[in-house]
Amino acid sequence: MNHPVYWPDKSLPLAIYCAPGVLTGLEILATDGLLAMPRTGLGIGGLLLGRQSGERLEILRTVAIPCSHAMGPSFVLTPEEIAEVKASDGGMDNALVGWYCSKPNGRMVLSESDEALFDALCGERGKVALLIRPSLGNVTLATFALRGDGRNGDRFQLGTQGELVTPETTPSPEEPDLAAEPELAARDVVPAVELAPQPVAPEPVQAEERPVIPFMPRGGTLFGAGVEKKKRRWLRRLLWMVVALAILAAVTYLTIYYLPESGISK
């Protein structure tokens, strides 16, 4: 069973309900109008049909009103278009409970042309007007305007703005609430099964790891310091041999060449 969608606005002295899918369909129409003209968009509008009983109003379906936009991009009907709408009231299967229009310019108020259309189409007390503000990249906002009797200055009462399609996914007050019916809630809850505690296996004891002592060669280190010491010893010996040979060569030279020329004899 499809439950009616409740419009959550406590500021209005009227409980408003919509048939499922009505608000979503209006958002699609308003967005299409916004995309129809770059930068400004085109306003769209139509009739709200349903029934009303006391302080409860139900919107069952909508009927779009063709608009020529002869006076600009806003939803403003010509006198001929208003007369055509009023002449078609007799063929509607539901009662006329209000009308709707989109506001691409973002001003969520009733303009003078809106109030004139309100008077022409829905002049009775308790009728509503739904103002829709579409937006690209953001949520579509909407608000209801309620028509009063005008005797206390309450000719039109503007409600609180809200997201247009959010009520479609919000439970209606008429839907069953598990919290309000304890028997139903208790019946649907599966009792939890208490399991016996399982024995916990002891953790295995790990053997203590002993550090591995590296082998140190005698007279050296792990990096071959002993080999390097032996190399230096051989280099020093070679250097002394070279010096000794140089000294011996110098003495031999002096003995052969220098002593005979100086006249020194043995």
pLDDT in tens, 156-173: 999 999 999 999 887 766
Number of domains in the chain: 2
- The CATH number linked to 136 is 3.40.140.10
> Is 178 a residue whose pLDDT tops 70?
no
Same domain, 151 and 229: no
Answer with the one of 113, 147, 175 that is the final residue of a domain: 175
Residue with tokens 């250097």: 239
Same domain, 169 and 224: no
Same domain, 165 and 33: yes
Indicate the residue type of 31. T
| CA pair distance 139, 24, nearest whole angstrom | 12
Q: Domain of 115?
A: 5-175
> Is 151 a residue whose pLDDT tops 60?
yes
Length of the chain: 266
Answer with the one of 175, 198, 233 that is the final residue of a domain: 175
What is the reported pLDDT for 180? 44
Instruction: Express as a percent the part of the chain with pLDDT over 90.
Output: 49
Q: Assess contact for 28 and 11: CB atoms under 8 A.
A: no
Q: Assess contact for 115 and 109: CB atoms under 8 A.
A: no
Q: Assess contact for 27 and 132: CB atoms under 8 A.
A: yes
Whether the full predicted model's pTM is greater than 0.85, yes or no, is no
Same domain, 158 and 249: no
Instruction: Name the pLDDT band for 187 (thresholds 50, 70, 90).
Output: very low
> Is 189 a residue whose pLDDT tops 60?
no
Rounded mean pLDDT, 95-101 = 95
181, part of any domain: no
> Is 65 a residue whose pLDDT tops 90?
yes
The vertex-193 CA angle with 187 and 197, nearest 5°, equals: 165
What is the reported pLDDT for 193? 45
205, part of any domain: no
38-42, 121-125, 216-220 — which is least confidently predicted? 216-220
Residue with tokens 């010096």: 243
